[in-house]
Amino acid sequence: MTLPLTEVGLQLAGFSFPGTPDTEIFPRVAAIATAAEESGFDSLWVMDHLQQVDAVGDREEPILEAYTTLSALAVVTSKARLGTLVTAAGFRNPGLLAKMVTTIDVISRGRAVLGIGAGWLEDEYVSYGYPFPPAGQRLRELADTVRICRAMFTEYAPRVEGAHFSVRGALNVPGPLSKGGPPILIGGGGERVLIPLVAELGDACNFFGAPATVRHKIDVLERACARFDRDPASITKTWLGHVVMDDDQSRLAAAIDRLGRRYHLSPRAARGFALCGTEDEVLDQLRAYRAVGVDGVIVTVLDPGDVDYVSRVGKVLRRGFDD
């Protein structure tokens, strides 16, 4: 079994920090990233959105472009892998995307990850002038993009003719520093197309939901791997969710209520996609995910600007994998 792509990852789902002017946004992001790395997070992720998602925050709040942010984080960090969760395949020409991820790999000395999906937020596509084709076409574009990026990560001047995208002798010099090229994480839980694409071409996948839901998705993945004669253990299975951790029950309840209001869910439903409770309770829930086959967790926190809290979460989750 290969080592997992990540065990403990932190996703920055936004760049709005109370009291922080625009001029200080990146210094705050850099401080969060370095504290996260030092506390036990082995990967750092940003969303590939050009404007904030309504479910996460205010549409008009500050948000930084993903790949230029990762390039900067490559300089201020030294150990953590760096990726998007996840890139919309339709946002960038696949050959250019491969070149961008390779550049981050070179800057970071081999720590880049390509996190990619089919894209879903129609309003964002329309606002920025991108066509928003039907789901079937977006999935075919995703498959083309993964194949092209894989070829450009591993070949000198590949030729790939896809259904929608192609490269014809595109050079990728310098090549990636990571052996075999940056790993490719394919996000999404679609059982008919997306999960089989992970089985065929992916190094990692990303699911969310309760342990039973995740176990079902892993079962689908394992059956798909059998069709491609692929060892499922060679694919890192990750879970995405929030961490809400507090020893004070009143503060904990308030945070869970806040999480629920963010996603228009009851507090009980909000608990279904979060590790929440005291440190021991969070560790018990983490064990439940590991028991169903999760290799790594990627988490978001309500207040990422609280560096002390981010560090505490990283140390607790690291204990869950090191014990």
Amino acid 130: pLDDT: 94
Q: What is the pLDDT of residues 161-196, one digit of tens each?
A: 999 999 999 999 999 998 889 999 999 999 999 999
Question: What CA–CA distances, in Å, run from 121 to 54, 124, 209?
Answer: 10, 6, 20
Q: Determine the pLDDT at residue 3.
A: 60
What confidence score (pLDDT) does residue 223 get? Answer: 97
Residue 13 has pLDDT above 50, yes or no: yes
- Euclidean distance between CA atoms 169 and 216, whole angstroms: 41
C-beta of residue 171 within 8 angstroms of C-beta of residue 204: no
pLDDT for res 271 = 85
Q: Which residue has the tokens 């996000």?
A: 187
pLDDT at 105: 97
pLDDT at 1: 36
pLDDT at 25: 96
Give me the helices (H) in 55-160, please: 66-76, 94-107, 122-127, 135-154
Give the predicted TM-score (pTM) of the model.
Answer: 0.95
Query: What is the average pLDDT value for the chain, to the nearest integer?
Result: 94
